[in-house]
Amino acid sequence: MRLKLVPSETSLDFMRLRLPALGFSGLLVAASILMFTLVGLNLGIDFRGGILIEARSTDGPADIGGMRSDLGTLGLGDISLQEFGSDTDILVRVQRQDGDEQAQIAAITAITDTLGSGYEVRRTEFVGPTVGAELAQKGIYAVGCALLAIMVYIWFRFEWQFSLAAILALAHDVLSTIGLFALTSFEFNLATVAAILTIAGYSINDTVVVFDRVRENLRRYKSYEQRDILNRSLNETLSRTVMTSVTTLLALLAIVLFGGAVLRDFALAMMWGVLIGTYSSVFVAVGALAFFDLKRHLDEEDDPGSPAEAG
């Protein structure tokens, strides 16, 4: 027996909630921009610059939890640890210390002394603020170029109205995710940029599925009101949308519970992205389409009749 989270035949009136949903989305984006402006992001070492130490345990698998506890007592600020290659190799990232080069050297010495003789330090690097600023700039370019490429693709695949609606939904998802990081003070690093790009890809995939059904129904039901076609398209793809979102959330929940501290912020960002991406595909992307007069003359198929007859 097939598992169905949503009944096969649903007739929810999504368009009735279109204006309240768009109003909520506008407030959400405005609040995200305000949080970003007033509070800012908790930038990780990738963007702020800092110290990178690669070490290898000589006594078996590295004790990440114990090391994190020991290094946290040094008062060096933000410290990140993760396995590197094997369970005996670790990467230690420490935020840039106040002061000159001597302050950075002193921090490296304190870390190596704390690690003790059970760890062999194989590499130490200092990521300066200039490199961090360059990475931040490239991260912004990566997100911007991805959104632009998606907009162009949707334009060629569908029509310009679909492209505009899709980019509004994607901007909504990206800005609200940034607002979440500003609100929660989760570390914003290169992994977070990857999460945002993944969220954009997930959201646009869901949006394209709905758009494809909208286009198909526009060709098929030429005598329907556009509102009825949009509602019908959303109801026909609702089961697929919910099932995809739930299975993705289950996988991300496993990462949150068992993936450790390094992956937790990434997974939480992805969970938010799945939820907000599903919401935006329904209420922002398709809701924005309702403001346009969409074309219906691409195919010459017989109209099966009115909405009442089809139901």
Domain range list for the chain: 14-41+132-310, 50-127
Q: Residue 236 corresponds to which amino acid?
A: E
Fold of 50-127: Alpha-Beta Plaits (3.30.70)
Tokens of 111: 């870390």
What burial class does residue 239 get, using C-beta atoms within 10 Å of its C-beta: 0-12 exposed, 13-18 middle, 19+ buried?
middle
Dihedral angle sign, alpha carbons of residues 44, 46, 47, 53: positive
Q: Report the pLDDT averaged over residues 208-227.
A: 81
Give the Cβ contact number of residue 145 at 10 Å: 11
Q: Report the pLDDT averaged over residues 140-150.
A: 80
Multiple choice CATH, 14-41+132-310, 3.40.50.720, 1.10.287.110, 1.25.40.10, 1.20.1640.10: 1.20.1640.10
**pLDDT score of 299:** 44
**pLDDT score of 2:** 58
**pLDDT score of 195:** 83
**pLDDT score of 4:** 60
**pLDDT score of 196:** 82
Strand partners, 90: 55, 83
Distance separating alpha carbons of residues 43 and 273, to the nearest angstrom: 19
Distance separating alpha carbons of residues 84 and 119, to the nearest angstrom: 14
Give the Cβ contact number of residue 172 at 10 Å: 25
Distance separating alpha carbons of residues 206 and 103, to the nearest angstrom: 50
**pLDDT score of 33:** 92
Distance separating alpha carbons of residues 48 and 293, to the nearest angstrom: 48
Residue 248 clears pLDDT 50, i.e. is over it: yes
Q: Report the pLDDT averaged over residues 196-205.
A: 82
pLDDT band of residue 307 (cuts 50, 70, 90) is very low
**pLDDT score of 129:** 60
Are 181 and 269 in contact by the 8 Å Cβ rule? The answer is: yes
User: Average model confidence (pLDDT) for the chain?
Assistant: 78
50-127 and 14-41+132-310 share a CATH fold: no
**pLDDT score of 194:** 81
pLDDT tens-digit map of 103-114: 778 888 888 888
Q: Which DSSP category does 79 fall into?
A: E
Q: Residue 191 corresponds to which amino acid?
A: A
**pLDDT score of 308:** 39
Distance separating alpha carbons of residues 63 and 88, to the nearest angstrom: 9
How far does CA 53 lie from the centroid of its chain?
29
Give the Cβ contact number of residue 291 at 10 Å: 11
pLDDT tens-digit map of 27-81: 999 999 998 888 888 777 777 777 888 888 887 777 787 888 877 787 777 777 7
Tokens of 96: 């840039």
Better pLDDT: 302 or 155: 155
DSSP run (H or E) holding 179: helix 160-184
CA nearest neighbour of 227 among 286, 277, 186, 142: 286
Tokens of 28: 């959400």
